[in-house]
Amino acid sequence: MDLRKLKTLIDLVAESGIAELEITEGDDKVRIVKSSGTPQTSHVSHVYAAPTATTQTAVPAQIAAAAASPTEALAPMPEGKIVKSPMVGTFYRSSSPGAEPFASLGSTVAEGQTLCVIEAMKLMNEIPSEFAGVVKEILVENGEPVEFGQPLFVLA
């Protein structure tokens, strides 16, 4: 295990709520215990020498981004029935650029009626409404990428 990886692990323990972390990687075993706010290693069986010139890795930035994600997840959800994306892809409100949107704000939709299309791997997947109701909000812009489980529509 190189020193950059070890430093990253120490930083993770220092920033998180965990008190102890033990990692085994092949013949190497590292145990990091947080005591009195200062992380320290209590046992290292074998650590390889790191290059003399070390550079900042992208891992701490990824950790900071991951730490910010739960805050975004706490954003209040609109009231109503939420239709979520069943897949990752690109959201489109209509079947083609010049066509009428499947659903617009204020339009009444029936259960099973197509609300939008999500393009995934060059396939256009029609997304049906799970509920009957009136479109209260459209949460995604046309042409935007969407994630699995991302809210797309709010129905009243």
* Lookup: tokens for 134: 């009136």
Res 50: pLDDT: 52
Residues 52, 8 share a domain: yes
Q: SS3 string of 84-117?
A: ECCCCEEEECCCCCCCCCCCCCCCEECCCCEEEE
Look up the domain containing 62 and give its range. 3-73
Residues 111, 143 share a domain: yes
Q: Phi then psi for 79, rounded to 5 degrees?
A: -80, 145
Residues 92, 57 share a domain: no
Residues 105, 48 share a domain: no
Residues 48, 104 share a domain: no
Q: Give per-residue pLDDT as tens, 68-115.
A: 544 445 556 668 899 999 999 999 999 999 999 999 999 999 999 999
Res 19: pLDDT: 77
d(CA 10, CA 23): 11
Helix, strand and coil content of the chain, in percent to the nearest 5, comes to 20, 35, 45
Last residue of a domain, one of 24, 48, 73: 73
Q: Give per-residue pLDDT as tens, 121-136.
A: 999 999 999 999 999 9
Residues 134, 68 share a domain: no
Q: Give per-residue pLDDT as tens, 6-57.
A: 777 777 777 777 777 778 877 778 777 776 544 455 555 555 555 555 444 4
Residues 48, 11 share a domain: yes
Res 118: pLDDT: 96
**CA 125 and chain centroid, separation:** 22
Is the model more confident about 147 or about 26? Answer: 147
Res 48: pLDDT: 52
Res 75: pLDDT: 57
